[in-house]
Structure 1
Amino acid sequence: MSEQMWWRGAVIYQIYPRSFCDANQDGIGDLPGIISKLDYIASLGVDAIWISPFFKSPMKDFGYDISDYRDIDPIFGTLADFDELVAKAHERGIKIMIDQVLSHTSDQHQWFIDSREDQTNDKADWYVWSDASPDGTAPNNWLSIFGGCGWTWDPRRQQYYLHNFLSSQPDLNFHNDEVRKAVLDNIEFWLKRGVDGFRLDAINFCYHDAQLRDNPAKPKELRTNIGFDEKNPYAYQYHYYNNTQDENLGFMEDIRRLLNKYPGSVALGEISSEDSLKTMAEYTQGSERLHMGYSFDLLTDNFSASYIKQVVETLEARVADGWPCWAISNHDVQRVVTRWGGYKSKTFAKMLFAMIASLRGSICSYQGEELGLIEADIAFEDIQDPYGITFWPQFKGRDGCRTPHPWQHDLANGGFSEAKPWLPVSKDHVANAVDLQEEDIDSVLNSYRHFNRWRKQQPALCYGDISFINTAEPLLTFVRHYQGEQLLVCFNFSEQEQKVDISQFNALCELDINTENLNEVKGHKLAVATLTNNILLIPAFGCFYGKLNTVNKASS
């Protein structure tokens, strides 16, 4: 593939820097810590690293509240450390992607400090300000994702300001041309330092409805927003006006034009809207907007073959020439092996990664996923996440997926740091530390590495189209097509062996199973099916990969 297309089918390894590796032994991970683990990252067979925010910040939302977009927070290191990280990653063939949090800043950013002083200064219109309603209440009914009203009164300006997240995260006013230019200039600052791409946080939140119209109420039976339920009143509204405005498409095109000046650089948008799959398709359409988008549709509690098939087919029907990116774990949701069934089975963890890495698209893989880590149980007194503090005990926040990475089982804090870590290290995680899994040929870690190497040799998995075959639960079955090659893929989502008569697929394709290919997959320690007289026996949490001779595309 050309250099400009490295991201298609890429495996992007997400690092939450606070919790990856602590080089200066202060209990918080840092950039030098990441540098020290680059050989480990390279051994995973991933194509790129996405690093969550490391910019200057008061850390009210652990870096997603930025006070200076062009500098490193001292707890993470220096700009020189970042430059060293980029250079040494590139030496190993690893791309560097960084978070850009564009829709809002910290209330300690100089822009906001200036903006709140009065209504006439140079930055007065850089944030979303509004007069109070006649009775003194907020301008409209918009809510914050983190709980309560989405507006906060500022006594200096005698106005309300909008915040879709914490009150310390005021929203920028993208209707202002100067704001858009300043934001693009900040992006270019990092392009000039050699980054290969950006993960764009909450990118559909940049624009708001200029008329500040109320969001309509959502009926109780429909309060099933992806990522929200009735524990959070945010689910009580249709969020038609506080995000995902039409004007944002033009801003996506501005970003793409900038990236086109730096060949090979890419943008991956995080999208959470009333219809996230529709928005993903719009934001990645053609070659003028974002390169990739991902939503929370596979980051929910829903785990079934039919649900995954529905999500992927819905997007495929809409996305046309756009390109998806799939994730089943990240720093905002419960770890997938807990969320999708609570299994501690190594086989289950291996199967989940193989499944997500076999769908059409690129993959974001969160640190610890390669170890099969479960969600950590955090006591209330140890919780750091403001989201969890607000909604405890119905929702315990995001700390359970953010605990430090376990490197060595016989060292304090799993080898993460000699100091007390910012979050406690799970005993279960220490029992699954990197050093133990390195020595176990059958470990989740070694399976992850081997599968990534094998996948790179399968163009159909990296770049091909996808067609699903209707099979009953608990089987997920599809064909990947690329340049005359077809690969039949099947996963068993259950704890029981499944028997499949593949002659039922004859209307779709004529099978020509390549035994050597099957043996390669077996070598990656996945639970692989056996094939005898057209009967597949797929073990618990097992899979099947078989090359096909022909595919009748009309039937597919």
Structure 2
Amino acid sequence: MEKKWWHQSVVYQVYPRSFCDSNGDGIGDIQGIISKLDYLHKLGIDVIWLSPVYDSPMDDNGYDISNYQDIAKEFGTLKDMEQLIQEAKARDIKIIMDLVVNHTSDEHAWFIEAKKNKDNPYRDYYIWRKPSADGKPPNDLQSIFSGSAWELDETTNEYYLHLFSKKQPDLNWENDQVVKEIFDMMNWWLDKGIGGFRMDVIDLIGKEIDKGIIDNGPHLHPLLQSMNKATFGHRDVLTVGETWGATVDIAKLYSNPARDEVSMIFQFEHVTMSWDEEHGKWRPKPFDLIKLKEIFHKWQTGLGKQGWNSLFWNNHDLPRAVSKYGDDKHYRVESAKMLATTLHMMRGTPYIFQGEEIGMTNVSFESIDSYRDIETLNFYRDKLAEGFTHEEMMDGLWANSRDNARTPMHWHTSEYAGFTTGTPWIDVNPNYSDINVEAALADENSVFYHYQKLIQLRKELPVVVYGDFELLVPKDQQIFAYTRTLDGHKLLIVSNFSAEKATFHYKEAVNSCKTLLSNYGNTYDLQQALTLAPYESAIIQIG
């Protein structure tokens, strides 16, 4: 496989609305991000994935775009964005933009025109269907945000498709003019010097609604190959597709370099393994380490040299890693470090979500009125109507609401965690006085410095980037252990995923070994069994 700069890079996701507010309006902004670039440079990351900052009415916090070539006023100006790109570049950090092109806002100029009449030149930019014989939606397709995926436009008496909010009409990717407009826009941003794109729900753009095909449609990969050829293919940039329905075989179609599509994808099998079959994430199943290991093993070995992995525990749509997979009550620091070690030593490009590097946790708001996420609010209402109790739904929200990731970043102990001098758009997690950047930077044993060391190991050791992966003790209920091997170099990574002591014995003969990193500060001798403390993890160099 040809080596790429993003193979050894680490990406940090910034959710602008919640990162840092520079002007006191309670909403994070681009100048706030610029003010924290030195902090991110200290951490050691190479890339910032910037969640959408485009002009938007913010029905879905910026994932509903009304103008792809301007910036939302609450985030700043186009000049601010250009400054961010340049200031980041000066610190050897690239900016990748969030590309949201399955849908626009219903306030986009294209959709405003499309609604005027059926003969409007922009009508076919979107997906319309006539009502059924009884005047209802054309079929029973459901929105991902709950309810029907069809909304009636009373002016023309036709339904438009929205797989998400009714204020997010789906674009018609079978229209060549839509394709050209999107490609022109992508080149406009690439010419400004961005380092690539994260592609929101990109697996939906090839859908064939009338055949019931929503994701991974037959037009998807030809469209991506056309996109590659027309925009980023000749540029040295990172592209990552969000693909909820991907299998290993499908992932190879996306990320095999010979196919000229994208650098890598996000797959979510390790995320959805804990979701209930009927009620999804709102009634989560117990954590299953054996299943988690099975999934990671499949993805680490299945892509081989025909694709590239993305590595992540959490993002703006998911709960905080230490709350989902660790123990945020009794072993928050230990389990946060353990999770980082387990993930960052695998093959692939690691992604850190803002606050993960200081061990931020889920939030348990007491009232539904404190939540802001459209998906959370819709499902709370719908599930109560289905018979869920308020208490059951709050348990689901505390575990898996998207707002767990969206509370403001904790910078220090002043009011509102130093995020803003005003009133934040969403409440701050009350534990900010204990968990914040200022405290992390002052403590040499903090989660922050553990992440910093992991990032440095990836840059120093080719075996971390390109080594073969072998899973050990797959049926162990406590231990997640694996090796990475390359050109005679070997690493053992061993983690205790439990709050109890665990024993691990490395069964191969070992002449010598060196402990590179331990979240307890321990050193290890592999010639005898290891006794690991709760949530203990270690990276051991063999030979």
Q: TM-score, normalised by structure 2?
A: 0.89
Q: 1:541 to 1:141 in 2, by over 3 A?
A: same
Q: Output the amino acid matched with 1:443.
A: S
Q: 1:317 to 1:40 in 2, by over 3 A?
A: closer
Instruction: Give the alignment partner of residue 378 of structure 2, picking from 386, 390, 393.
Output: 390
Q: 1: CA distance between counterparts of 2:521 and 2:240?
A: 32
Pairing 1:448–2:451 present: yes
Q: Which residue of 2 aligns with 1:298?
A: 270
- For structure 2, the 5+ residue unaligned runs are 275-285, 381-389
For the 8 Å contact 2:207–2:220, the answer to whether it is kept is no
Q: 2: CA distance between counterparts of 1:146 and 1:45?
A: 36
- 1:62-99 alpha-carbon deviations (Å, 9 max, x no partner): 00000000110110011111111111111111111110
Q: 1: CA distance between counterparts of 2:290 and 2:231?
A: 37
Taking the TM superposition and a 5 Å limit, the aligned residue runs for 1:344-383 are 344=329, 345=331, 346-378=333-365, 379-383=367-371
Instruction: Give the alignment partner of residue 431 of structure 2, picking from 428, 433, 436.
Output: 428
Instruction: Give the alignment partner of residue 211 of structure 2, picking from 210, 213, 221.
Output: 213
Q: Which residue of 2 aligns with 1:229?
A: none
For the 8 Å contact 1:531–1:537, the answer to whether it is kept is no
Q: Which residue of 1 aligns with 2:81?
A: 82
Cα deviation, residue 281, structure 1:
3.0
For the 8 Å contact 1:529–1:538, the answer to whether it is kept is no
For the 8 Å contact 1:118–1:124, the answer to whether it is kept is yes
Q: 1: CA distance between counterparts of 2:142 and 2:248?
A: 23
Instruction: Give the alignment partner of residue 243 of structure 2, picking from 265, 271, 285.
Output: 271
- 1:256-296 alpha-carbon deviations (Å, 9 max, x no partner): 224545532121001112x5444333221333111110122
Q: CA RMSD in A?
A: 2.0
Q: 1:513 to 1:246 in 2, by over 3 A?
A: farther
Q: 2: CA distance between counterparts of 1:367 and 1:458?
A: 25
Q: 1:261 to 1:334 in 2, by over 3 A?
A: closer
Taking the TM superposition and a 5 Å limit, the aligned residue runs for 1:87-236 are 87-209=86-208, 212-214=210-212
Q: Which residue of 1 aligns with 2:292?
A: 308
Q: Which residue of 2 aligns with 1:284?
A: 255
- Is the partner of 2:151 in helix, strand or coil? strand
Q: Which residue of 1 aligns with 2:328?
A: 343
Q: 1:318 to 1:447 in 2, by over 3 A?
A: closer
Cα deviation, residue 313, structure 1:
2.8
For the 8 Å contact 1:530–1:537, the answer to whether it is kept is no
- Is the partner of 2:404 in helix, strand or coil? helix
For the 8 Å contact 1:476–1:491, the answer to whether it is kept is yes
- 1:159-215 alpha-carbon deviations (Å, 9 max, x no partner): 1111110000000010111111111111111101100011100010112215x135x
- Is the partner of 2:269 in helix, strand or coil? coil
- 1:482-536 alpha-carbon deviations (Å, 9 max, x no partner): 2332222221111222222222xx3xxx434332xx1x414xx455462263322
Q: Which residue of 1 aligns with 2:506?
A: 502
Q: 2: CA distance between counterparts of 1:532 and 1:52?
A: 44
For the 8 Å contact 1:284–1:319, the answer to whether it is kept is no
- Is the partner of 1:90 in helix, strand or coil? helix
Q: Which residue of 1 aligns with 2:481?
A: 477
For the 8 Å contact 1:335–1:374, the answer to whether it is kept is yes
- Is the partner of 1:82 in helix, strand or coil? helix
Q: Which residue of 1 aligns with 2:460?
A: 457
Q: Output the amino acid matched with 2:252.
A: A
For the 8 Å contact 1:31–1:76, the answer to whether it is kept is yes
Instruction: Give the alignment partner of residue 414 of structure 1, picking from 389, 397, 417.
Output: 417
Instruction: Give the alignment partner of residue 331 of structure 1, picking from 306, 316, 319.
Output: 316
Q: Which residue of 2 aligns with 1:255?
A: 227
Q: 1:185 to 1:262 in 2, by over 3 A?
A: same
Q: 1:128 to 1:440 in 2, by over 3 A?
A: same
Q: 1:259 to 1:183 in 2, by over 3 A?
A: closer
Q: Which residue of 2 aligns with 1:545?
A: 539
- Is the partner of 1:521 in helix, strand or coil? strand
- Is the partner of 1:502 in helix, strand or coil? coil
Query: After the TM superposition, which of the residue ranges 465-474 and 169-178 deviates more from structure 2?
Result: 465-474
- For structure 1, the 5+ residue unaligned runs are 215-240, 550-556
Cα deviation, residue 304, structure 1:
4.0
Query: After the TM superposition, which of the residue ranges 86-95 and 472-481 deviates more from structure 2?
Result: 472-481
For the 8 Å contact 1:115–1:124, the answer to whether it is kept is yes
For the 8 Å contact 1:326–1:356, the answer to whether it is kept is yes
Q: Output the amino acid matched with 1:534.
A: Q
- Is the partner of 2:33 in helix, strand or coil? helix
Query: After the TM superposition, which of the residue ranges 489-498 and 306-315 deviates more from structure 2?
Result: 306-315
Q: Which residue of 1 aligns with 2:278?
A: none
- 1:374-419 alpha-carbon deviations (Å, 9 max, x no partner): 101223222211111112252433222201111111x221111110
Paired positions, count: 509
Pairing 1:243–2:228 present: no
For the 8 Å contact 1:174–1:206, the answer to whether it is kept is yes
Instruction: Give the alignment partner of residue 527 of structure 2, picking from 505, 529, 533.
Output: 533
Q: Which residue of 2 aligns with 1:521?
A: 517
Query: After the TM superposition, which of the residue ranges 7-16 and 468-477 deviates more from structure 2?
Result: 468-477
Q: 1: CA distance between counterparts of 2:79 and 2:100?
A: 22
Q: Output the amino acid matched with 2:254.
A: Y
Q: Output the amino acid matched with 2:533.
A: P
Q: 2: CA distance between counterparts of 1:310 and 1:58?
A: 42
- Is the partner of 1:298 in helix, strand or coil? helix
Cα deviation, residue 113, structure 1:
0.8
Q: Which residue of 2 aligns with 1:35?
A: 34
Counting aligned pairs with the same residue, the percent is 32
Q: 1:464 to 1:532 in 2, by over 3 A?
A: closer
Q: Output the amino acid matched with 2:440.
A: Q
Q: Output the amino acid matched with 1:533.
A: Q
- 1:106-146 alpha-carbon deviations (Å, 9 max, x no partner): 00001111112111111111111111111222112211010
- 1:232-252 alpha-carbon deviations (Å, 9 max, x no partner): xxxxxxxxx122202110111
- 1:325-380 alpha-carbon deviations (Å, 9 max, x no partner): 02111111111111225433210001101111111111111001001111012232
For the 8 Å contact 2:513–2:525, the answer to whether it is kept is no
Q: TM-score, normalised by structure 1?
A: 0.87
For the 8 Å contact 1:284–1:291, the answer to whether it is kept is yes
